Amino acid sequence: MLSTADALATLLAAARPLGGIETLPTLDALNRVLAADVVSPLDVPPMDTSAMDGYAMRVADLAHGTARLRVSQRIPAGHAPQPLEPGTVARIFTGATVPPGADAIVMQEQAEPTGDEVALLHTPRAGEWITAQGADIRRGSVILPAGTRLTPQSLGLAASVGCAELAVVRRLKVAVFFTGDELTMPGEPLRPGAIYNSNRFTLRGLLENLGCEVSDFGIVPDRLDATRATLRDAAREHDLILTCGGVSVGEEDHVKPAVEAEGRLSMWQIAMKPGKPLAFGAVRRGENTGAHGDADGTFFIGLPGNPVSSFVTFLLFVRPFVLRLAGVKQVAPRALSLRADFTQPKADRRNEFLRARVNAAGGLDLFANQSSAVLTSTVWGDGLIDNPPNHAISAGETVRFLPFSELLY
């Protein structure tokens, strides 16, 4: 079995960025991946602005301490000021352009206006409460590099330099299907021996969070011929085929032999818990389909059928693979070093990923039942403890924690 590090390296080495670029309105580009650098065509702010409501003035006019000066103009935001007359101040508001000649702002809380004059009760230093032109962004600078996944604040930054449109990588096309004669959809009668197909909802939601265009081929019967036929159909117009279930070694596990018949497997079984039977390879496809994948076909990833196993393996392997295909350069989640407020005396020979949550004291509590069938743990928890092989955990030690906030998007 491969280590988790070797398995991830294998996946990422195969993940060449997608071809295809489209231009979208900036308002519609949330969660998409930039295909080209965004270079600012202007300084931000484009002029010196006031950081406070107050009075724009010359520091030299207060050389003798408290002074009463005439208010010579009023400058709201969005209005062009006149040059400041010597020995006067300008009433100014937050975000307004500082008038030529002024070199400081006195906050209105430090001033006493009377009629058309104001007493300034504070002697500012030069530049006080002035946001200089280009303080945030300099003209010609790269504000968002290619490969950036666009967050709400990224869109705001692009808009701040006037970008009405952005060049983004096209959406990844993913085909999904689920195997298991025991699977039933919610809303249908639950016959004896059947279970509801929770994985369909979890995995589709995870893919949609990543901005993928998902084609759902539904539940495929536990037959080799049906599995092979679905693989062929899924390979035609997709970049990735993602399956759930059927990748182990039981007599009813047909996904592995089906992929080997319709393409190839380059990886199978990882030394991790939960999630050992994870498969990676490619499925042959017809010519001129426009899909992207390995040189021999459409990429294939087969996830285990247990709900926690499929969830964890998606987060650790499918997510970074999908992001790398989309051109994202930094795909590793940021880990936290947190205190374990529990004892796990039994070590496992595999790399364990334990569901845990942060308690009020800033430490980690462990979900009581770490079975791969207990989906409740993924909702109760805040993330995964990445516990190395053959390592027992003692209360008070520092562990590596992967928050779900780093793994779900």
pLDDT digits (tens, 9 = 90+) for 151-190: 999 999 999 999 999 999 999 999 999 998 888 889 999 9
Q: Is the pLDDT of residue 288 over 50?
A: no
Residues in the chain, how many? 409
- 331: in domain: no
Average pLDDT score over residue span 370-389 = 97
> Do 97 and 240 lie in a common domain?
no
Q: Where residue 113 sits, what CATH number does that domain have?
A: 2.170.190.11
Residue finishing a domain among 325, 360, 378: 325
- 179: in domain: yes
pTM of the model: 0.88
- 312: in domain: yes
- 389: in domain: yes
> Do 9 and 73 lie in a common domain?
no
Q: Which of 366, 374, 368 is nearest to 393 (CA)?
A: 366
Average pLDDT score over residue span 291-316 = 85
> Do 295 and 197 lie in a common domain?
yes
Residue with tokens 């791969």: 372
- 330: in domain: no
- 103: in domain: yes
Residue finishing a domain among 112, 131, 150: 131
Q: Where residue 175 sits, what CATH number does that domain have?
A: 3.40.980.10
> Do 8 and 151 lie in a common domain?
no
> Do 286 and 359 lie in a common domain?
no
pLDDT at 137: 97
- 32: in domain: yes
> Do 196 and 260 lie in a common domain?
yes
What is the largest distance, in Å, between two alpha-carbon atoms of the chain?
94
Q: Where residue 155 sits, what CATH number does that domain have?
A: 3.90.105.10
> Do 310 and 225 lie in a common domain?
yes
Contacts 24+ apart (CB under 8 A), 68-71: 68/114, 68/117, 68/118, 68/119, 68/120, 69/117, 69/118, 69/120, 70/116, 70/117, 71/113, 71/116, 71/117, 71/118
| pLDDT tens-digit map of 228-246 | 999 999 999 999 999 998 7
pLDDT at 52: 97
> Do 184 and 144 lie in a common domain?
no
- 403: in domain: yes
> Do 127 and 65 lie in a common domain?
yes
Percentage of residues in the chain having pLDDT higher than 90:
85
Pairing relation of β-strands 173-179 and 240-244? parallel
Mean pLDDT of the chain: 93
> Do 38 and 54 lie in a common domain?
no
Structural domains counted in the chain: 4
> Do 214 and 75 lie in a common domain?
no
Structural domain of 163: 25-43+137-169
Q: Is the pLDDT of residue 289 over 50?
A: no
> Do 318 and 350 lie in a common domain?
no
Q: Where residue 393 sits, what CATH number does that domain have?
A: 2.40.340.10
